[in-house]
């Protein structure tokens, strides 16, 4: 069984400008390509787990998100790194519109995206790592049984694990197989 490096999108991979869905609005966080490259070399799957309430609220279409995700994957390949898969929740229990207004197990802080990844990739979840930038990310990872939970930023104390200020600090937690 392989391990995964789980990454939140907005705030970890790219700067969070609220409801980002256009490639011209993507500013990659310093160190993200190096971190993902290191994870690839150490035989981790790299999996994105992201809430996308902008879809639920009607700010952009699901296809807009999918096109942006494919473009982002291409940018990683250009930078000699690879994201294996994007898991996302297009739902919101209160502000969702139509079919997107549901209380889904996929929406963080619920662990559904992590549990689907565990099943899909046959993951060693206890030896996997999550890097998020808010409490919902960390709670979801904890509920799924992710072994190492890292918070990027200093907005609050991470009661589940480690706080880092820069992505470069996370590389030391990637262990060789």
The rounded Cα 115 to chain-centroid distance in angstroms is 13
List residues bridging with 50 in a β-sheet: 88
* Assigned token pair, 20: 């980002």
Distance CA 9, CA 32 (A): 11
Select which of 8, 84, 133, 137 is catalytic.
8
Nearest CA to 18 out of 30, 29, 8, 10 is that of 10
Is 10 an active-site residue? yes
CA distances for 122 relative to 4, 114, 133, 137, 140, angstroms: 10, 11, 26, 21, 18
162/50 Cα distance (integer angstroms)? 20
Task: Determine which one of 10, 84, 133, 137 is catalytic.
Answer: 10
Pairing of strands 129-132, 45-51: unpaired
Give the dihedral sign, CA 129/109/34/71.
positive
- To the nearest 5 percent, what fractions of the chain are helix, strand and coil? 40, 20, 45
Active site residues: 8, 10
């Amino acid at each position: 069984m392989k391990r995964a490096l789980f990454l939140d999108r907005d705030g970890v991979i790219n700067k969070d400008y609220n409801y980002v869905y256009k490639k011209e609005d993507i500013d990659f966080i310093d160190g993200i390509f190096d971190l993902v490259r290191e994870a690839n070399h150490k035989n981790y799957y790299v999996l994105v787990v992201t809430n996308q309430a902008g879809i639920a609220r009607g700010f952009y279409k699901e296809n807009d998100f999918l096109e942006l995700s494919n473009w982002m994957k291409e940018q990683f390949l250009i930078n000699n790194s690879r994201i294996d898969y994007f898991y996302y929740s297009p739902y919101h229990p209160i502000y969702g519109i139509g079919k997107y207004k549901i209380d889904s197990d996929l929406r963080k802080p619920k662990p559904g995206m992590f549990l689907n990844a565990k099943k899909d990739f046959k993951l060693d979840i206890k030896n996997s790592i999550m890097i998020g930038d808010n409490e919902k990310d960390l709670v979801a990872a904890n509920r799924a049984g992710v072994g190492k939970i890292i918070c990027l930023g200093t907005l609050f104390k991470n009661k589940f694990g480690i706080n880092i200020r820069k992505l470069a600090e996370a590389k030391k937690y990637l262990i060789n197989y």
